[in-house]
Amino acid sequence: MASPYHLRSSILVLLLVTASAWEEEKKTFIVQVQHDAKPSIFPTHRHWYESSLGEATSIIHTYETVFHGFSATLSAAEVENLESLSHVIALIPEQVRQLHTTRSPHFLGLNTADRAGLLKETDFGSDLVIGLIDTGISPESQSFNDRDLGLPPPNWKGQCVAGKGFPPNSCNRKLIGARYFCGGYEATNGKMNETLEYRSPRDTDGHGTHTASIAAGRYVFPASIMGYAKGMAAGMAPKARLAVYKVCWNAGCYDSDILAAFDAAVADGVHVVSLSVGGVVVPYHLDVIAVGAFGASEAGVFVSASAGNGGPGGLTVTNVAPWMTTVGAGTIDRDFPADVILGNGKVIGGVSVYGGPGLSPGRLYQLVYAGSDGYSSSLCLEDSLDPKSVRGKIVVCDRGVNSRPAKGQVVKNAGGVAMILANGPFDGEGLVADCHVLPATSVGAAGGDQIRRYISLASQLRSPPTATILFRGTRVGVKPAPKVASFSARGPNPVSPEILKPDVIAPGLNILAAWPSTIPPSSLPSDHRTTDFNILSGTSMACPHVSGLAALLKAAHPEWSPAAIRSALITTAYTLDNGGDGGTLLDESTGNASSVFDYGAGHVHPEKAINPGLVYDISTYDYVDFLCNSNYTAHNIRVITRKVADCSGAKRAGHAANLNYPSLSAAFQQYGKQGSRMSTHFIRTVTNVGDPNSIYRVTVAAPADTDVTVEPDTLAFRRLGQKLNFLVRVQTREVKLSPGSSTVKTGSIVWSDAKHTVTTPLVVTMHQPL
C-alpha cells in the first residue's frame, strides 16, 4: 500500500548553538543535507560540505546514518548564508547533557543454574551487541574478559579506535568496538587537558565501566567493595558483546558528540543503545537525543535511556520520546545498614559502605551540627568548617551542592572523626550508600531532624551531645522490595502527557558493578584506595539493566521490533512488592504507596517478558501520525524523522493517545462545570506472539469514578503474528479542583488466555487550568 509520507531525504540544518549568547564569532552547529543532492563534481560528501564553508572553518563530525550532514564551528555570516538556502530547515540550540548517576541479576530472577529461562534460551545474549554511549570503558576489567566467546557477529562493522591509554589490543571478543567523540566538547571548551583526560575510549570517570558491566558484564567471583556486597558479579546479558562510544568528558556530554555516537553505533551494527545521559526536556524537534534515537529505532535498534535523577518531584522525567524506553530506578533486596546511636540511647537507621577503621567500640563521641556556623558549613562545603569546632567530633552535614563523599573529606580535613550525612526534606527518606573516606553514614530527613533536635536539646541542658556509628555490613533479603528510589525522576510526561513515562523501573540503588582500578571508589583526588568494583546509584544504573534485558529478548525473538521488546517489558512488569501482603510498590522517599507516574508500568520481570503472549507493535509511520496529532508542524516532523509528512492521513489515527503504546493515558482539561461528562477513546492493535490458537478475555480495573468499556471483550487468535484491534472508551465527570491543580486516577486493562497475562496501565488525569 502506498505510504502517505514521502521518504525522500531532507536537507536539514540543525544549528546547535553552544551558548545562550554569542560571546565569540564562531559557534558549533550541526548541518544535515539532502544526501542524494551532492553534485557530481565533488568526490565525497565531505568535499561538498567544505565547499559551502569558509576556508578557516573545519568540519567536526560528519553524519551518515541516523542523520545526514556534518557539524562545524560557523561564523554569524556563515549561519546567515546557510539560513538563506532553500534546503536549510531548522536551528536547534545545543544542550550539554549530564550523566544520570551483583545482586540485581539474582533479584530479577536471572539464575545461571536454571536449565531453562531467559539466560539459557538466548545463550546469555552472545550474538547481540549493546552499544554504550557514556564515559568510555576500562577494558582490562575481568567483567569484560572474552573467555569462551566466539567471533563477533558476522555483520559487525565497528572499530576499536586506539588512543592514549587504550592500545589497539584493548578490544577482544567481548569488547568488540570502542570509539570516542570529543569534537563538540572541544569546540566549546577548547582543547582538552590531556593530563586530566584521555583522548581515547579509556574511562577516566568510572561511570561508563560501571554501566557497561551492568548491561553485559561477565561472571566474576569474588566481587565486592571494601568487604561489602560479597558474591558473584554479572551483567544482565553476560555473553552479549559490547561496543562503547565515549561522549562524556569533564565538562559534560555535548549533543553534537552524542549524535555522532548514535550515527556510528547504528552504522556499526549494534542491536541495543544504552544511554544513561540526559538534560533539560524540550520538544522532540529540539532534542538531539530524541532525533538520534528516532533514527536508531527506525533502523531496528532498541534505545534504552535513563529517566533522570530529579525525583521525588513530579514532572521531572527526561528522555520521554515514545520511541525510547525510559527507565526509572528501584531498590533491590539488599542494603548496607550503618546506624547512628545517640547518647540518649535512640538508634537512627542509616546506610554506608565505609570500609576503613571504624570508631572505637563502646565509645561515644561528641556530636556537632556544622550548620550552627552558617549555610556553607551546614553543607560541609570546602573550607567551611572551623577545625576548633569539629576536631575529634562526629559532624552532622546536610546533603546538597557538593558530592556526598566530598563532604566527608571536608570533615576529615578539619579534624572530624566521623560524619552523619542528613537528607533534606526534598530527599525524604531515600538513602544512598557511599564509599566514604572516613567513618560516615547517611540518614533520612526524619532521622536528621531527630539528630539535630537532640543536639539542640543537649546543648540547652549543657550536656554535650554524643553519638557513635555502628557499621553492620551487608544485609540481604530485605523486605519490602523493590521500592521506587527516592531520586528516580517522576512523571507525568512533560512533553506528551498521552504517553506514560517512565515506562518501567529497574534496579538502580546501591548497585555493585565493575570499576576502573585507577580511579578511587569515592572519585576524590585525595582518596588513594583502589577497587575493581564499586557501588553506585542512579537511573544511570537502572537503564543498562533494561538494555541487557532487551538484548536477551532480541536474542530470543530476532524478529521483534524495538516497540515489541518495549511492549513485552511493559505488559509483564509488576507493581506489588515482596512484603507478602500484596502491597503496591512503596515510594522510598515517603514510605507511602507509589503511583504510575513513579514506576510507569511497574518493575521489569525478565522471565515473563520472554513470553508476553501479545505485543503492541509500532511502525515508523505510526510515530509520524503521533507527531502530526501532537500538533507538530510538517517542518518540525521533518527535523525529527527526515521525512516530509502528509498529516492529512494522520486524522485516521484520531488523536495522539491512539499511538499503539502499551499504556493508556487520558488527560482531560476541565473547562465546564462540575459534574459534566468528559470522554475519550483509545484504539489499540495487539499481535499474537504466544500460542497459535488462543482466546484472550479482558478484565477491566477502572479508575475510581470512571466508566471504562472494551470492545470486543474477547480476542480469538488463530495463528502466530495475527493482529487484532480493540477499542477502549473512557468516560468520567468533572470534579471540583482549584485552578492549576490536577487529580490522577489509575486502573488497568488486562488480557489473559489463562497462560499469559498482558497488563496495560490506564491513567486518567484531570487538570483545572489557571
Grid cell, residue 409, equals 573529606
512 strand-pairing partners:
535
Residue partners of 347: CB distance under 8 A and separation at least 6: 339, 340, 341
747 and 702 Cβ atoms separated by less than 8 Å? yes
- Residue 735 has a CB neighbour count (10 Å cut-off) of 13
* 581 Ramachandran zone, left/alpha/beta (phi>0; psi -120 to 50): alpha
Residue partners of 376: CB distance under 8 A and separation at least 6: 384
In angstroms, the CA 663 to CA 259 distance is: 29
Q: Where do we find the cell 546511636?
A: 341
In angstroms, the CA 360 to CA 354 distance is: 15
Q: Where do we find the cell 572519585?
A: 523
The catalytic position among 540, 589, 595, 694 is 540
- Minimal CA–CA distance to 297: which of 253, 258, 265? 265
- Residue 633 has a CB neighbour count (10 Å cut-off) of 13
For the purposes of burial, counting CB atoms within 10 Å of the CB of 596, is it exposed (0-12), middle (13-18) or buried (19 or more)?
buried
Consecutive H or E run containing 669: strand 664-669
CA–CA–CA angle 5, 11, 15 (5° rounding): 120
In angstroms, the CA 265 to CA 135 distance is: 15
Residue partners of 701: CB distance under 8 A and separation at least 6: 747, 748, 749, 750, 762
Residue partners of 237: CB distance under 8 A and separation at least 6: 122, 124, 125, 128, 130, 215, 216, 548, 549, 551, 552, 555
Return phi, psi of residue 292, to 5°.
-65, -40
* 285 is a catalytic site residue: no
- Minimal CA–CA distance to 600: which of 620, 574, 618, 624? 574
Q: Say which DSSP state 8 is in.
A: P
Using omega within 30 degrees of 0 as the cis cutoff, is the peptide bond preceding 312 cis?
Answer: yes
Grid cell, residue 521, equals 571508589
Residue type, 203: D
CA 393 to chain centre: 39
473 and 497 Cβ atoms separated by less than 8 Å? no
233 and 102 Cβ atoms separated by less than 8 Å? yes
Instruction: Tell me the DSSP string of 480-510.
Output: S--EE-TTS---S-SS-TTS-SS-EEEE-SS
* 118 Ramachandran zone, left/alpha/beta (phi>0; psi -120 to 50): alpha
**For the chain, what is the total number of helices (H) and then of strands (E)?**
18, 40
In angstroms, the CA 224 to CA 512 distance is: 7
Q: Where do we find the cell 517542518?
A: 635
In angstroms, the CA 87 to CA 75 distance is: 19
Return contacts of 218-221, CB within 8 angstroms, 24+ apart.
218/142, 218/143, 218/144, 218/145, 218/147, 218/174, 219/112, 220/142, 220/143, 220/514
The catalytic position among 45, 126, 134, 537 is 134
The catalytic position among 207, 271, 557, 603 is 207
Residue type, 291: V
- The catalytic residue positions are 134, 207, 540
